[in-house]
Amino acid sequence: MDIFCKIINGEIPSFTVYEDDVVKVFLDVNPDVNGHMLIVPKKHILDIYDMDNDTLLHIFKITKEMDKLLKEKLHTEGLTLVQNNGLLQEVKHFHLHLKPHYSEKEELLPVEDVYKKLTK
């Protein structure tokens, strides 16, 4: 069982900012930037080639909602999406990184502080 399955099953705690029947969205515990989050399907899906179109569309719907949240709560001004497949995948479970951008360099805050800003 991979780390994302363990997070989804509640075996490993996470800073979850959104969850529904299809996906779980949580903050990366080793973020590149404040608000760096992952969207992970709850069903174990290896990579984009293993994914059905309904799940893929749902992930991108939630991506737009999370971008809106990041803009409202953290005042972000851009977003990079990163998704690796095959050899490039560190964890062999589909996940989409959402990496926000800011107009000025931001001091990297503790993940707990970013979580509080996003969920208050």
Q: Which domains does the chain have, with CATH numbers?
A: 3-119 (3.30.428.10)
pLDDT bracket for residue 87 (50, 70, 90): confident
Told to judge if 36 belongs to the known catalytic residues of this protein, a careful annotator would answer no
Q: Which of these is catalytic: 36, 58, 95, 97?
A: 95
- On average, the pLDDT of the chain sits at 96
Q: Work out the end-to-end distance of the chain between its first and last CA atoms, rounded to an integer number of angstroms.
A: 32
Give 35's DSSP letter: T
* Residue, of 90 and 55, whose pLDDT is higher: 55
Q: Which residues pair with 98 in a beta bridge?
A: 37, 81
pLDDT given for residue 96 in this prediction:
98
pLDDT computed for residue 37 by the predictor? 98
Confidence of residue 81 (pLDDT cuts 50, 70, 90): very high
Predicted local distance difference test score (pLDDT) of residue 76: 97
Quick check: 102 pLDDT over 90? yes
What's residue 12's pLDDT? Answer: 96
Any residues with CB less than 8 A from the CB of 118 and at least 6 apart, and which?
Answer: 17, 27, 35, 69, 70, 73, 74
Q: pLDDT-derived band of residue 1, with 50, 70 and 90 as boundaries?
A: confident
- Between 110 and 90, where is the model more confident? 110
Is residue 95 scored above 90 in pLDDT?
yes
